[in-house]
Amino acid sequence: MKNLSVLGMMGLCVALAFSSCKSSESAYKKAYEKAKQQEQAEPQQVAAPVEQPAPVVAAPVETKVVESAPAGVRQEKVTLVSGNGLKDFSVVCGSFGVRANADNLKSYLEGQGYTALVVFNAEANNGSGMYRVIVGTYDSHAEAAAARDAFKAKYPSRSDFQGSWLLYSIR
């Protein structure tokens, strides 16, 4: 009996819900008709002739030919932050978002006998920039690759140094 009355109440609620909701289609139709009449009643405006702008003449642009980096080498536009003598190819052994961390690694490497550099890539890390610590910089890809391999071999237990990579500097 109780189940029957609950079902009856639910049926009544559903019936009321569907019968009380009227479609507002007629209101939308009236608004559309009114807008259409106003549009037809407005006078059509004739567009004024458009003046043609003066042609744009491109000024000569001085371009710099940039050698593309060999396969397996990252190509980045970097700015020298500390140290001197940045060449085309470099061995990067650390990347940091905070300059103090990069400077600490640079000091450690200098204590180990390296001439370390710190460069900044403003476009790295989704535009917030990264400081790259360079353990050596070279004129050729072959020299840089050999130096990277020797650096990794010198520090086999340092997993951070095992991730060292080559950078081709765009300046």
CATH number of the CATH domain containing 81? 3.30.70.1070
Tokens 């608004």, located at residue: 31
pTM beyond 0.85: the answer is: no
Tens of pLDDT along 95-115?
999 999 999 999 999 999 999
Beta strand ranges found along the chain (DSSP E):
74-77, 79-82, 89-96, 117-121, 130-138, 165-170
Is 129 inside any structural domain?
yes
Residue range of the domain that includes 125? 74-155+165-170
Can you tell me the distance from the alpha carbon of 105 to that of 127, in angstroms, rounded to the nearest whole number? 23
Predicted local distance difference test score (pLDDT) of residue 134: 96
d(C-alpha 119, C-alpha 7), whole Å: 76
Quick check: is 105 in a domain? yes
**Taking 80 as the threshold, does the pLDDT of residue 12 lie above it?**
no
Q: Is residue 3 part of a domain?
A: no
For residue 31, being part of any structural domain is answered with: no
pLDDT at 31 over 90: no
Q: Is residue 13 assigned to a domain?
A: no
Per-residue model confidence (pLDDT) at position 63: 39
The answer to whether residue 165 scores a pLDDT higher than 90 is yes
Q: How many domains does the chain have?
A: 1
Give the C-alpha separation, 12 to 22, whole Å.
17
